[in-house]
Amino acid sequence: MMIRYLIILGLLLGISCRKEKWNDRNKPANSQNLLQTIQANNDLSQFYQYLVKTGYDKVLASSKTFTVWAPVNSAWAGVDPALLNDTARLRLLIANHITTLSYTGSAGEQRIATLNGKKIAFTSGSIEGIKVSVADQYAANGVLQVIDAAIIPKQNAWEYLSSTRTQQNTFLQSLAYTGIDTATAVQIGVNPTTGAPIYKPGTGEVALNHFLERINIDSEDSLLTYVILADDVYNSEQQKLTKYFTDTTAALTDTTTQWNLVKDLAFNGVYDKDHLPETLYSIRDSVKFHISSHDIVSTQKVSNGVVFIVNHIDYELATKIKPVIIEGEYFNGVKDATKTIAIRTRVNPATGAIFKDVYMYNYGQASYWLRYNARLNTVAYQVYWVAVNDVQTSTFPMRITFGDPAVTTLPYTTVPLLSYNEQYIGDYTNVRYGVRDVYLVGNSVTTNGNNTILLDYIKLVPILN
């Protein structure tokens, strides 16, 4: 028993010793904080001076955890003196070398947010393509990486676009407006009519942009490819699209056309000029683009991806001027709200697909209608519907009209029995871009079974040349 006890005790002592050695390996060998560690390194003296000048010395002397990529003294000779002599720009530059938490190159490729809000790419042995000459030096409050060059902050795609003198930039800047940040605005009352808060003028004001609210190429959180059109391309593409966005005034037509041109020029992911896929899908509406490397006249790497300036673009018009589908159950107006309207869930026996439709029967009114809204281009449309007549043994007619239920845009069309296919109704030419009222109108009789209304969906397919 004594021998067994001594063996177990020896094993436990061995494990304890190994554990202590392992813990010692993972403890920072340096009891100094990051600022002290940098100050003690003669080859980082210039970086230390810039830390003091910008106030980041106090940040690195705190108890919070940081990772610092510190350029050696010789690295600063390659930095524009104008940047180093501008205190505000120097602060942004120094902040681009510091991040919260501890990072080492052993974790693989990482995109890390720095203290200036930019993200930088860190891999084993390099940061933003700059060599890490001394890696993973632990300090009491983080990790120091010594690097061979300064990490100059890159513009993001929006910042780069804003620096260009292009018509694309001019239009997008025109979409700027001043909004209210309710978190910082001072409330001084409440609107007695609407109940909305009233804020003190001049408080909480923030610069916003309608484009960035929909396609945020200013964000550092994801990587993208952005395309800027040379001015002659911008003009020719605008002229090509104008006929599809004709509005009541030339100014409205111009604004709408330009918006529909620029909204589709951002793509998820970063692409190399010489290895572009055959098809790129725009972030906004999945428009299909085919961009050739031969058409790229300039490439700019940005902090959130890459920007191409092009002298030609090619896209599939049918993916920009898309078909419009109006689901039967999503009506927003009726002729008589007292009538019963059923929403059914059905199964297509041929495909197994589940769908919903709207159904009215025995309601006793002639020319009953349901109203829908649809945003339409100025183009001719082929009009189809799917109406599954599986509720009665006789057929019945319906019609589709636009703008006014009393106007006969398209004639009555008979709904056949048990058809799950799209049925062609006729052609309709829309003459003004925007939201239009679309009506599904029942038969002009009160006879039960002959004035049934039934609709899965309406489909408007643009006729493109």
Please indicate, yes or no, if residue 310 is contained in any of the structural domains. Answer: yes
Give the Å distances, CA to CA, from 447 to 284, 307, 440, 444, 452. 48, 64, 18, 9, 9
User: Residue 199's pLDDT is what?
Assistant: 93
Phi and psi angles of residue 184, each rounded to the nearest 5 degrees, phi first: -110, -15
414 and 312 both lie in a single domain: no
Q: What is the pTM of this model?
A: 0.87
314 and 334 both lie in a single domain: no
* Structural domains in the chain (count): 3
52 and 94 both lie in a single domain: yes
What amino acid is encoded at 116 in this protein? N
313 and 330 both lie in a single domain: no
User: Residue 109's pLDDT is what?
Assistant: 87
90 and 163 both lie in a single domain: no
Please indicate, yes or no, if residue 290 is contained in any of the structural domains. Answer: yes
246 and 103 both lie in a single domain: no
User: Residue 108's pLDDT is what?
Assistant: 80
Please indicate, yes or no, if residue 456 is contained in any of the structural domains. Answer: yes
Please indicate, yes or no, if residue 135 is contained in any of the structural domains. Answer: yes
What amino acid is encoded at 193 in this protein? T
What does the alpha-carbon distance between residue 406 and residue 429 come to, in Å, rounded to a whole number?
A: 18
Its sign, for the CA torsion 144, 145, 149, 153, is negative
333-368 tens-digit pLDDT: 999 999 999 999 999 999 999 999 999 999 999 999
Given strand 305-310, what is the order of strands in its sheet?
A: 266-268, 224-229, 305-310, 296-302
Query: Would you state the structure tokens that stand for residue 79, as one six-digit string?
Result: 């930095």
277, 298, 320 — which closes off a domain? 320
312 and 415 both lie in a single domain: no
User: Residue 29's pLDDT is what?
Assistant: 53
What CATH number is attached to the domain comprising 95?
2.30.180.10
What amino acid is encoded at 382 in this protein? Q
Please indicate, yes or no, if residue 117 is contained in any of the structural domains. Answer: yes
**204 near 182, Cβ under 8 Å?**
yes
Calculate the average pLDDT of the chain. Answer: 93
Helices (H), 27-84: 34-39, 45-54, 56-60, 81-84
98 and 112 both lie in a single domain: yes
The DSSP element (H or E) to which 67 belongs, if any, is strand 66-71
298, 320, 342 — which closes off a domain? 320
Please indicate, yes or no, if residue 17 is contained in any of the structural domains. Answer: no
Please indicate, yes or no, if residue 132 is contained in any of the structural domains. Answer: yes
What does the alpha-carbon distance between residue 397 and residue 411 come to, in Å, rounded to a whole number?
A: 9
252 and 336 both lie in a single domain: no
- Long-range CB contacts for residues 127-136, cutoff 8 Å, separation at least 24: 127/69, 127/151, 130/69, 132/69, 132/105, 133/72, 135/104, 135/105, 136/104, 136/105, 136/106
**403 near 416, Cβ under 8 Å?**
no
User: Residue 426's pLDDT is what?
Assistant: 98
Give the Å distances, CA to CA, from 4 to 8, 56, 369, 377. 6, 60, 93, 89
Please indicate, yes or no, if residue 382 is contained in any of the structural domains. Answer: yes
What does the alpha-carbon distance between residue 79 and residue 83 come to, in Å, rounded to a whole number?
A: 7
Per-residue pLDDT of the chain (465 residues; tens, 9 = 90+): 445 544 444 544 444 444 333 333 344 456 899 999 999 999 999 999 999 999 999 999 999 999 999 999 999 999 999 999 999 999 999 999 999 999 998 878 899 999 999 999 999 899 999 999 999 999 999 999 999 999 999 999 999 999 999 999 999 999 999 999 888 999 999 999 999 999 999 999 999 999 999 999 999 999 999 999 999 999 999 999 999 999 999 999 999 999 999 999 999 999 999 999 999 999 999 999 999 999 999 999 999 999 999 999 999 999 999 999 999 999 999 999 999 999 999 999 999 999 999 999 999 999 999 999 999 999 999 999 999 999 999 999 999 999 999 999 999 999 999 999 999 999 999 999 999 999 999 999 999 999 999 999 999 999 997
The beta strands (E) that lie in 170-251 are given as: 176-180, 187-190, 197-199, 205-209, 224-229
Containing domain of residue 75, as a range?
34-147
Query: Would you state the structure tokens that stand for residue 331, as one six-digit string?
Result: 């009506």
User: Residue 16's pLDDT is what?
Assistant: 43
**Helices and strands counted in the chain (H then E):** 12, 29
54 and 168 both lie in a single domain: no
320, 349, 374 — which closes off a domain? 320
Three-class SS state of 62: coil
333 and 353 both lie in a single domain: yes
What CATH number is attached to the domain comprising 458?
2.60.120.260
165 and 289 both lie in a single domain: yes
